[in-house]
Amino acid sequence: MENYQTLLYYCYSPIAEAEQFAADHLKFCKSLGLTGRIIVADEGLNGTVSGTKASCAAYMDAVHADERFAKTEFKIDEVAEPSFIKMHCRYKSEIVHSGLRDPNIINPNVQTGKHLEPVEFQKMIDQEDVIILDVRSNYEHNLGRFKNAVTLDIENFRDFPEKINELAKYKDKKVLTYCTGGIKCEKASALLLHHGFSDVYQLHGGIIKYGKEAGGEDFEGKCYVFDNRIAVDINTVNPKVVSTCYNCGKVTPKMINCANPECNEHITQCDDCGESLEGCCSVICTTNPRKRPYDGTGYYVKVPQPVKARL
């Protein structure tokens, strides 16, 4: 029985004294018994939290009661157990790291691509003058992506601005951007508009909302999520596995992070290679003395790296 919920959300809304807000918000979340990961910045909130249905309801009510975040949309998943072990709420320079911090150039509250609801997005994706653009990182779109999507060779979203020139050939097309929950598209679509793309759209609520409201049709593979679940199913209409094992090339839907904590690489890996490599991405990683025991899941909580002594 699924007695817990996991909430995915973001809100671009200026926060005064955001660093103090983050400390106070952490205490509040802990008082509700929530676990999760929240990023607070001067520009707003970005979080995934998990807990009992009652705790999640109380949290959503509290966020909506603050006029700064009244417009926040929550994507709600019913889960069998909390999707995190601990509760973190940290202050950072951006709620999604892009390196685009000049509000005169990129400000999602002023200009972004046209928001498409899932059903609208679904109707447009097969049109001839449309390009579907995945703005996520390699390990995310390797696991799952929309059929015929243009993917970018980027390790992190902060690499996205460097790819604008590669995308220039699509300036005369309708560009439909998408990501997990919508937050990256707010800045990605704004940057495209800034660079002269005239017809830019974004999937409102991202892949997660698309799965809930449009059945996930034509999303191939699974969707990477930033919690203990690692990946979730999206497509209930015409599902297809598109990811292959990093080690042997066999088709597999399984995503892991390397058992060597000093590597922690996100890869797709079949169970056979997981067993033979003890949850590592390579033979050399199996020799690391800090290697974590492989339990078959391939998920490990990130651990602090040892501090190197200064010379």
Residues annotated as catalytic are: 179
Hunting for tokens 């890869």 — which residue is that?
267
CA distance 159 to 173: 23
Buried (b) or exposed (e) across 48-70, using 16+ Cβ within 10 A? Answer: bbbbeeebbebbbeebeeeeebe
CB 253, CB 243: distance < 8 Å: yes
Identity at 257, one-letter amino acid code: N
